[in-house]
Amino acid sequence: MRASEILSHKRDGGTLSAEQLRFLIRGYLDGSIPEYQVSAWLMAVYFQGMTGKETGELTREMIASGDSIVLDRAARPYIDKHSTGGVGDKVSLILAPLAAACGVSVPMMSGRALGHTGGTLDKLDAIPGYRSVLDPERFAAVVAEVGFAMTGQSERIVPADRKLYALRDVTATVESIPLITASILSKKFAEGAEALVMDVKCGRGAFMKTPTDARALAESLVRTGASLERNVVAVLTRMDEPLGAMVGNFLEVEESCRVLAAPERPVAGFEIPALDDPRLADLIEVTLHLTAWMIVLAGKAPDHNAALSLARERLLDGSAYRAFCANVEAQGGSVGELEAGFGTRRAPLSEEINATADGVITEIDAYRMGMAGVDLGVGRNRAEDDVEPDVGIELFAKCGERVSAGTPLCRVYAVSEAALRAACERAAQAYVIEQDGGVVSLGSRIIEELHELE
């Protein structure tokens, strides 16, 4: 078998066999196939695509390139959730303990912020003492102990994905749907997940800008999951404005705790109970909807409506917040130090942005808000950049709300004057206020669902 023959076959639109993909991936890892040939293959895939079976075989080979986490079989099935990334997306922080409180075992491997999209691991790192990277043995133990664990990708898990992603990044092939699919599913199934709920975000603040592109990725994920004999539910959700009221690492942890703890004991610094705060309605809707699908996949409820009822019950009875706190302690964090920062832990410089006219907020550009976060240090321009835990943006008003000139729209928190100025300029540009806009109802954040349940 020769790499050049594989490349020409894919270049001409052919379908590669499992053996050909194995030869290519293993050759790249052991150095027998040079980077320039793998780059050519990536570009051929970018233009020619892959069949569902072919993408499935690539995913299998990527999983086989490293270790897989072995979880206690008695707690099956293991269900995970993944998001394609957005602004203010702290859903995983609420969803994982909520699902665990509903009896679902959740092994969750997450990523870090890059560009305008936030990262779950950076948010977890804002919790004092929290260890966001666990070795496979400790990861399995925490899942067994508290029902869920959250970690980053270790060196031993799917090494093919790390090498391929780095190469995709410099060869302009990141946007290939088959390659995105294999990257996501290989990591999720190597971590021990047996079924997956995908939050495929769509809009200005998402990786996929249009419903057509988002649906294509969702279909690829569901189809490839089926080829691997795994259930994948893909939910398309809107990401045109930030999700919830906070954009920032500690700020989003605090907001998540506010939602989880509100029924039991309100988080300090907030007068309106979280479940009654209209700024959080979209966050709560998306979180409950995705959690309900995890409950269904785990067989803990007969249908989505019953699962929604169960999730709401566990949110209201405080068990989800207790699960969150148990995880914090199990992963080395301090709940006491975390809670002591609620309402007060903010970067030292801040400034409010006010409405300049009367009218209705018709747009809060999530991409601009995300890039304002990058200016502050919420996210990264490069993978090696550091992040600031206590900076961010708090939204006081969201789309559809009527405001008057001078009404505070948001507050920006920064560690330097230069960062504050840059972020305030971007954040102000994110708002569109129309004087004759009337009352705007954006409706549900849920666009569409694709699933193939047994």
Domain CATH code at residue 37: 1.20.970.10
CATH number reported for the structural domain that contains residue 354 in this entry: 3.90.1170.30
> How far from 444 is each of 149, 306, 394, 435, 453, CA to CA, in Å?
30, 19, 22, 24, 24
User: pTM for the full model?
Assistant: 0.93
Active site residues: 82, 161, 168, 183, 187
Which of 283, 313, 339 is the last residue before a domain boundary? 339
- Please check whether residues 286 and 248 belong to one and the same domain: yes
Indicate if 353 and 319 belong to the same structural domain.
no
User: Is residue 430 within 8 Å of residue 369, measured between CB atoms?
Assistant: yes
State the CB neighbour count (10 A cutoff) for residue 404: 10
- Residues 221 and 290 both lie in one domain: yes
CATH number assigned to the domain comprising residue 219 = 3.40.1030.10
Q: Is the domain of 134 the same as that of 9? A: no
DSSP-based three-state secondary structure for 316 = helix
Average of per-residue pLDDT across 159-178:
91
Q: Considering the domain boundaries, does residue 58 fall inside one?
A: no
Are 187 and 328 part of one and the same domain? yes
Token pair of 72, please? 């206690």
Examine residue 87 and state whether it is found in any structural domain, yes or no.
yes
Tally of structural domains, the chain: 3
What is the model's pLDDT at position 267? 63
Shared domain check, 120 and 38: no
Whether 196 maps to a domain, the answer reads yes
The CA distances from residue 237 to 9, 93, 208, 244, 450, in Å, are 37, 17, 11, 14, 12
Q: Does the structure show a pLDDT above 60 at 55?
A: yes
Q: Provide the pLDDT for residue 269.
A: 58
Tell whether 446 is covered by a domain. no
282 and 419 in a single domain? The answer is: no
Q: Name the β-bridge partners of 413.
A: 350, 392
Query: Distance (Å, rounded) from C-alpha 327 to C-alpha 316?
Result: 19
353 shares its domain with 318: no
Q: Which two tokens stand for residue 274?
A: 């979280």
Question: 103 lies in a domain?
Answer: yes
Domain boundary among 339, 370, 387: 339
pLDDT tens by residue, 112-148: 867 788 789 999 999 999 999 998 899 999 999 999 9
Contacts of 232 (CB under 8 A, 6+ apart): 185, 195, 196, 197, 198, 221, 222, 224, 225, 226, 451, 452
The tokens 């980053």 sit on which residue? Answer: 152
pLDDT confidence of residue 272: 65
Confidence of residue 166 (pLDDT cuts 50, 70, 90): confident
Question: Does residue 221 share a domain with residue 152?
Answer: yes
Does residue 453 have a pLDDT over 50? Answer: no
- Dihedral angle at the C-alpha atoms of 116, 128, 79, 66, nearest 10 degrees? 80
Cα–Cα–Cα angle for 313, 318, 319, nearest 5°? 80
Contact 432, 362 (CB under 8 A): yes
Report yes or no on 38 lying in a domain.
yes
Q: Are residues 420 and 307 in the same domain?
A: no
Q: Does 134 share its domain with 221?
A: yes
Q: Is residue 419 part of a domain?
A: yes
Residue 67 lies in a domain: no
pLDDT at 261 over 90: no
In this structure, are strands 148-151 and 106-109 parallel, antiparallel, or unpaired?
parallel
Crossing angle between the packed helical segments 91-101 and 281-297, to the nearest 10 degrees: 40
Q: How far is CA 83 from CA 197, 316, 337, 373, in A?
A: 9, 25, 29, 19
Residues 88-99 have a mean pLDDT of: 97
N- to C-terminal Cα separation, the chain: 39
Residue type for position 159: P
Let me know the angle formed at the C-alpha of 28 by 23 and 33, rounded to the nearest 5 degrees.
80
Average pLDDT over residues 302-321: 95
pLDDT (tens digit per residue) in 399-435: 999 999 999 999 999 999 999 999 999 999 999 999 8
**Are 168 and 269 within one domain?**
yes
Q: What is the pLDDT of residue 263?
A: 59
Give the structural domain span for 21: 3-49
